[in-house]
Structure 1
Amino acid sequence: MKRREFAALGLASLALPALAADAGFDGQVEAFLEALWRLDPDAAVAAGRFEFAPQITLPGSAQRDRQRAFLKHWLAEFENRSDATLSVSQRMDRAMLIAKINSDLWQLDTLREWAWNPANYNPAGPLDLLLNTDYAPLPERLKALKPRVAALPAFYRAAQASLAPNGGVTREHTELAIQQAPGVLGVLDDIAKRAAEAGQAATFKAPLAQARAAVNGYGAHLKRLLPSARRSFRIGAALYEAKFAHDIQSARTAKATYEIALQRREEVLAGMQAQAAALWPSVIGAEAPPADRFALIGRVIAKLSERHVARERFVDEIRAQIPQLEAWVRDHDLLNQDMSKPLAVRETPEYERGVAGASIEAPGPYRPQDKTYYNVTPLDELTPEQAESSLREYNHWILQILSIHEAIPGHYTQLVHANRVPGKVKALFGNGAMIEGWAVYGERMMIESGYGASPEMTLMWGKWHLRAVTNTLLDYSVHTGGMTEADALDLLMRQAFQTEREAREKWRRVQLTSVQLTSYFSGYSEIFVLREQLKAKSGPGGFDLKAFHEKFLGYGSAPVRLIAAEMIRS
């Protein structure tokens, strides 16, 4: 899932355990947020505070100094606040704020991605959001956009000055930034078109020309850097373990999560082997099945994967799945839904392409009424061979599981729930492992409820679930153990039954990100363990699955570790 920065996260119908809220703490949080929006107007815009739209900050050393001072001040403020008078929700908020600030300081001074990742400097998101969100009439939105467009030359100069010299950037992130530049130019073209519609073409002519020149100049600068870019994209074991602790906030270490994923992999493969063996006669025929389990499972999956939607209907098919999934969740009483919150399936904007093929982009918590976008990258620009590979990966069964994960009852449903939780902290700074973990758990929830009930769906869910497990194995092995491209592709294709195109895209993704790929299995496994613990605690017939779902989502997008502690205690 790719969210807007500080995106709104997820639906809560059961209130958190009652405890009188401390109004002083709520006031402190509001003061922190208002100070944050002044420091970082882009974050304010992403959160839905559009009055900050005309304000500009440049990504240079002066801004980093201001950010460091801000974080240290507020860390002391929240650390000095006692939990004694806080409600359950507020205690979680305080813990999340302290963790977020510590993480930001670590990112700023230890990881220092601002110095080696040129793709960090992509201004298209706020520009596109301001242009296409109907928070005000178009002339007012254009008025807010104009200073941002005019500031792009200074923005890119500051970006260039921030990047490490003498080969200190990574080749992979430099290539990504170059690839995304046409998307930034596309957003500027959209602004020009809308300005013409509003009769403001003349006032935007010069700023847009200078902005385009700045984008092209940055791209040319990166192309000059590319031959000497020699920093490794692998962050190494020490940074990885620390980043896992900051980003995932699990009760486990990264290494322990990796070892649990290895165990889960064996369980999944054993089940898939039995399922594939049972399907072999009807899918393959009289030919004797191979003894090798990977060959057995792979042959059956490959044959079944020939059933897929037509290339030109890829996005339309996903769009058609949404009402079907809504009806299933409603008819099987799995959890409550809020049909008033709009979800729009759209083609992924060009400036966001290059990392994930599908994602959810949710509005900020200040404007929960705005649309949530289910972004899907179309297959138009692929060769016939590439398109066929993608279509086989997202075959008849797996395309449905993708929409379960991204939309219902996955990310979209969880995001709507979280906006109902008191306060804004959990929505603004939601825990990625809880969010991704819920989506993976949602897949299992639907299969357990009988969705798509067939041996084929069961086998394909095994393949999809194996993806989440393999994500952890891949990410940990690549960044801490130096796994090679050849070994990674073998893990993904032969051992996890992914098509070549999907595997190569995942190899690209693991070079461009770190730790995020572990969030799926880490969050899922903790949620599932919690569910089974509460089942055992309830005794035979005493466990209410819907009540569990509602209560779990009722805590918002807090780390599973914090939610589990409260649910076990209550």
Structure 2
Amino acid sequence: MKKAPLAFAITLGMLGLSACDKTPDSEIASKAPPITEKQAANTASQTAAEKLDFSGFSEQFIDALWTLSPTWALYSGKHVNDGHLEIPNEASRSATLAFVSKQQGLLTQFDRTSLSPSDLIDYELVSNLLGSMKWEVERFKSWQWDPSSYNVSGGFAQLINEEFAPMDERLVSVLARMEHVPAYYQAAQANIETPTLEHTQLAIMQNQGAFSVFSDELLAKAMASSLSDEDKSLFKTRFDTSVAAIKQHIQWLTELEKSLTPETARSFRIGETLYEEKFAFDIQSGMTAKQLYYKALDDKNNVQAEMTKITDKIWSKHMNTPKPVDSNEAIKQLIDTLSSKHVSRDKFVDEVRAQIPELIKFVNDKDLLTLDPNKPLVVRETPEYMRGFAGASISAPGPYEQEANTYYNVTPLDGMSDESAESYLREYNHWILQVLNIHEAIPGHYTQLVYSNQSPSLIKSLFGNGAMVEGWAVYTERMMLEQGYGDFEPEMWLMYYKWNLRVIANTILDYSIQVKGMTEKEAIAFMTQEAFQQQAEAEGKWRRATLSQVQLTSYYAGFREIYDLREALAQSQGETFELKQFHEQFLSYGSAPVKYIKQLMQ
């Protein structure tokens, strides 16, 4: 799926480094002092002229990218041409390829051996980004088969909701941007051929959510603004035209959906070759997707063994029936019993909101890392145009708008049937909801992205590695429990292992579905019987796995690398190892791939 900017949507996945154009580990290791990125930049053995050269390249690269894609800049907090809506036509794809060609040519002027470790990582990030952009246009071609990639709502929502300028100024950009909404959807329809049924259905749902952006409230704001009467009239005209264009596109998609059959629709499965290529761009784990898949199978067995031990220990505390001989059945029965302890459906979002201060207090009391109280985190109901993909996510500001709100998007359960809501709440029960909040908020995604925005390198902050981002969030779950969150309660650890097993299962599931042809029935059985997930969660994960590729593996890949790095450093440093120092040094490198952070820290 798109490489949404890091600041836009954590749940959508990120760009990694290119496996096709990578520097050997030893080349980085030979230049890597065990210091922070800022210190490394100050002490690197290169001339000032060389540093300035690469710094100058980085600045022009970012500026050129924002010129190519002002909407990407907008998501990242850089306001260069907010009123411009790119039309996704052949001309825009040609412009993308021309940009890639030019920037790849500029990269060739640099000798990697003369770059500092920090700059070398930036070089690789830029190289990978360019390679991925070209691969997406010429080889993956999701612009042809993924209708859900076309939705104007995000950019408009960013302008309307983020208070980076007075509302009247932002309305001027909205007015200009609306001019091209009809052309945007005309281009989208011209691009789409042999789409998948699943992405077509998602496109219908999410474009219907656009009316939460193009609302009567927006029109009222424009009419009450200081825009001239002429501009207000034009605003109303373009607003009506935009709404009509979205409605027409939804109708077009609806008719398209009716025509799609197993014979005419493209399969959502991308196959082994494309999967490995995408994995190399997105994850950069040092392993192939197949190797990670088999590693996950081994870890699944290890985690199930730990869950068996806890089940044996606390079975009689909670259960009145004999423990089944089959260990997985015993685990499942115990989890089912414990899962009945959960918040009510109408209090779900409120409970998430209430837990954030508790997490902040624990991190501060244990001195696990420094939290900035001046960087706001706002828990909100997921905007309608973003729903249908994940139940919880983080929308974070980019490095240009570090003071802006970070939103913790939590989807309320009011649209679910009673049965589905109960299943969902059992999945996110009393214990697992706490683990979810650690992952998404404190000290997971929210905290990591605050640190990432403070990195001296804009390249690392803007174009970071998704496996590092997701891996950090998964790492913090275990770290918090190791430090005593939950008072070492065996029930909490059992539920944590269930949650961690889901991370491992994500990798197995994604590879099995996209490459090995796992069916929905097989997937649901695997998730409910092997990973102990509730039916609603399993059904939602199946849907997610049909709509994305590779991103589900980022959690496990990044977690394994981070945790292993910490354990290796703790062993080598002995009594001098400090957990807070490890966390803050690790996070100081922005959202760089763990593979390269490891070289710098060792």
Q: 1:389 corresponds to which residue?
A: 423
Q: Secondary structure of the equivalent of 1:51?
A: coil
Give how far 1:543 is off: 2.0
Q: Name the aligned partner's letter for residue 415 of structure 1.
A: L
Q: Name the aligned partner's letter for residue 214 of structure 1.
A: A
Which digits, 9 at most, give the CA deviation of each residue in 1:401-430, with x for residues without a partner? 000000011000000111111121111111
For 2:269 and 2:398, the matched residues in 1 are separated by 32
Question: Is the contact between residue 398 and residue 453 of structure 2 (CA under 8 Å) also seen in structure 1?
Answer: no
Q: Secondary structure of the equivalent of 1:344?
A: strand
Q: 2:394 corresponds to which residue?
A: 360
Alignment match of 2:375 (pick from 330, 341, 361): 341
State TM-score, norm by structure 1. Answer: 0.96
Instruction: Tell me the number of residue pairs that the alignment of Structure 1 and Structure 2 aligns.
Output: 562
Question: Is the contact between residue 411 and residue 436 of structure 1 (CA under 8 Å) also seen in structure 2?
Answer: yes
Equivalent positions of 1:472-483 (< 5 A) are 472-483=507-518
For 1:3 and 1:325, the matched residues in 2 are separated by 30
Q: Name the aligned partner's letter for residue 158 of structure 1.
A: A
2:325 is aligned with 1:328? no
For 1:112 and 1:275, the matched residues in 2 are separated by 47
Between 1:100-109 and 1:49-58, the stretch displaced more is 49-58
Q: 1:73 corresponds to which residue?
A: 102
Alignment match of 1:171 (pick from 197, 202, 214): 197
Question: Is the contact between residue 9 and residue 426 of structure 1 (CA under 8 Å) also seen in structure 2?
Answer: no
Alignment match of 1:457 (pick from 456, 478, 492): 492
Question: Is the contact between residue 9 and residue 395 of structure 2 (CA under 8 Å) also seen in structure 1?
Answer: no
Which digits, 9 at most, give the CA deviation of each residue in 1:104-138, with x for residues without a partner? 11111110000000000011111001011111111
Give how far 1:87 is off: 2.8
Between 1:190-199 and 1:530-539, the stretch displaced more is 190-199
Alignment match of 1:219 (pick from 241, 250, 258): 250
For 1:107 and 1:543, the matched residues in 2 are separated by 43
Which digits, 9 at most, give the CA deviation of each residue in 1:147-199, with x for residues without a partner? 211211010001111112xxx10000000000112211220114213213326
Equivalent positions of 1:104-503 (< 5 A) are 104-164=133-193, 168-189=194-215, 190-198=217-225, 202-229=233-260, 230-285=265-320, 287-453=321-487, 454-503=489-538
For 2:108 and 2:145, the matched residues in 1 are separated by 31
Which digits, 9 at most, give the CA deviation of each residue in 1:18-55, with x for residues without a partner? 43571221111111111111111111111112231012
Q: Name the aligned partner's letter for residue 202 of structure 2.
A: L
State TM-score, norm by structure 2. Answer: 0.91
Q: Name the aligned partner's letter for residue 188 of structure 1.
A: F
Give how far 1:390 is off: 1.0
Which ranges in structure 1 are unaligned for 5 or more consecutive residues?
Answer: none
Give how far 1:9 is off: 11
Question: Is the contact between residue 3 and residue 359 of structure 1 (CA under 8 Å) also seen in structure 2?
Answer: no
For 2:305 and 2:256, the matched residues in 1 are separated by 48
2:551 is aligned with 1:522? no
Q: Name the aligned partner's letter for residue 133 of structure 2.
A: D
Structure 1 residues 4 and 73: CA distance shift in structure 2, 3 A: closer
Query: Between the two proteins, what is the percent identity of the paired residues?
Result: 46
Question: Is the contact between residue 147 and residue 192 of structure 2 (CA under 8 Å) also seen in structure 1?
Answer: yes
Alignment match of 1:25 (pick from 54, 61, 68): 54
For 2:9 and 2:91, the matched residues in 1 are separated by 31
2:131 is aligned with 1:102? yes
For 2:36 and 2:430, the matched residues in 1 are separated by 33
Question: Is the contact between residue 271 and residue 515 of structure 2 (CA under 8 Å) also seen in structure 1?
Answer: yes
For 1:347 and 1:23, the matched residues in 2 are separated by 45
Between 1:42-51 and 1:488-497, the stretch displaced more is 42-51
For 2:74 and 2:519, the matched residues in 1 are separated by 40
For 1:338 and 1:85, the matched residues in 2 are separated by 36
Give how far 1:84 is off: 3.9
Which ranges in structure 2 are unaligned for 5 or more consecutive residues?
Answer: 11-34
Structure 1 residues 258 and 233: CA distance shift in structure 2, 3 A: same
Question: Is the contact between residue 171 and residue 222 of structure 2 (CA under 8 Å) also seen in structure 1?
Answer: yes
Q: 1:7 corresponds to which residue?
A: 7
For 1:299 and 1:2, the matched residues in 2 are separated by 39
Q: Name the aligned partner's letter for residue 415 of structure 2.
A: E
Question: Is the contact between residue 8 and residue 368 of structure 1 (CA under 8 Å) also seen in structure 2?
Answer: no
Q: 1:551 corresponds to which residue?
A: 585
Q: Name the aligned partner's letter for residue 204 of structure 1.
A: F
For 1:399 and 1:56, the matched residues in 2 are separated by 39
Which digits, 9 at most, give the CA deviation of each residue in 1:363-401, with x for residues without a partner? 121111100000000011111111111111110010000
Q: Name the aligned partner's letter for residue 187 of structure 1.
A: V
Question: Is the contact between residue 374 and residue 406 of structure 1 (CA under 8 Å) also seen in structure 2?
Answer: yes
Give how far 1:3 is off: 9.7
Question: Is the contact between residue 6 and residue 43 of structure 1 (CA under 8 Å) also seen in structure 2?
Answer: no
Question: Is the contact between residue 16 and residue 555 of structure 1 (CA under 8 Å) also seen in structure 2?
Answer: no
Q: 2:27 corresponds to which residue?
A: none
For 2:406 and 2:3, the matched residues in 1 are separated by 10
Between 1:13-22 and 1:437-446, the stretch displaced more is 13-22
Give how far 1:4 is off: 5.8
Structure 1 residues 261 and 156: CA distance shift in structure 2, 3 A: same
For 1:138 and 1:335, the matched residues in 2 are separated by 37
Q: 2:548 corresponds to which residue?
A: 513
Q: Name the aligned partner's letter for residue 517 of structure 1.
A: L
For 1:6 and 1:375, the matched residues in 2 are separated by 15
For 2:318 and 2:480, the matched residues in 1 are separated by 25
For 1:221 and 1:78, the matched residues in 2 are separated by 43
Q: Name the aligned partner's letter for residue 241 of structure 2.
A: Q
Q: Secondary structure of the equivalent of 2:399?
A: coil
For 1:196 and 1:275, the matched residues in 2 are separated by 62
Q: Name the aligned partner's letter for residue 549 of structure 2.
A: S
Q: Secondary structure of the equivalent of 1:274?
A: helix
For 2:511 and 2:400, the matched residues in 1 are separated by 36
